[in-house]
Amino acid sequence: MAQFEDITYQVDGPAGIITINRPDRYNAFRAQTVDELIAAFQDAWTDPAVRAVILTGAGEKAFCTGGDVKQRAETGDYGPSELGRFRIGDLHKLMRDIPKPVIAAVNGVAIGGGHVLQVLADVSIAADNARFGQAGPRVGSFDAGFGSAYLARVVGEKKAREIWFFCRQYTADQALEMGLVNKVVPAADLLTEAKSWVDEVAALSPTAIKFLKQSFNADSDHQLGLSNMAMTALDMFGVSDEGMEGAKAFAEKRTPDFGPHVAWH
């Protein structure tokens, strides 16, 4: 099993528990974090003892707040990575492809790219203090692939557009009402609840679960093409003047000025 710096990974009975471990950055991910998440999911895939994966965040404040915008403001990218590229699209695909249920245990804020991760999980269990929302257009970023197209499948077109166009935040109860999460529990009970769901699925046929997950995914797998194109566009947009204005404003704790970039074609 690989040794990690930005995450932790442990096997507890039938559960593979992946924890993003950057609480000082509200569990925002850099390129190294994504590399490590991919390695942990691959470990969970090949381990016959693991019947489902729990994805959560360290501490009580944040599940994940997406890409590390401070890192992007400092270096113009998300830092060095194992293969020389930021593999967030690969992580999204892996979460869908792993033939075992992925359970997001949302222990705090799930914002931006962190919100996308919990959307892509097969089921989500939220602590009662969790909050959900998007921040991309506020910090010069977006996810025009699974993060938007698949979100619309989950909550409907109108709500998905609201989430992205206005960058509002939603409580755990609001998330439950819109179908964004499956259950809300007291924060102290979150991991215990997630493990109980793993125990339930561990008693079922793993081959049946594999076929079912692939069947559910088949209906939206065409969105992968959109996701790949969107990630290429985001790479280009992120280093543009407009994209960097959002990142720099976030790091400097000021309101971004996107006015010079308004152009209607």
Instruction: Note whether 110 and 134 are within 8 A (CB).
Output: no
Identify whether the C-beta of residue 99 lies closer than 8 Å to the C-beta of residue 52.
no
Binding residues for substrate: 78, 109-113, 141, 253
Compute the C-alpha angle 186/183/19, nearest 5°: 70
d(Cα 9, Cα 232) in Å, to the nearest integer? 30
Cα distances from 181 to residues 82, 157, 164, 185, in angstroms, run 33, 17, 17, 11
- Annotated binding residues, written as ranges, equal 78, 109-113, 141, 253
Between CA 237 and CA 251 the distance in angstroms is 18
Measured distance CA(86)–CA(80) in Å, rounded: 8
Q: Is 218 helix (H, G, I), strand (E, B) or coil?
A: helix
Q: Which two tokens stand for residue 243?
A: 């994209």
- Looking at the chain, which runs of residues are DSSP E strands? 7-12, 15-20, 52-57, 62-64, 102-106, 109-111, 123-127, 131-133, 169-171, 183-185
Token reading at 175: 């998330």
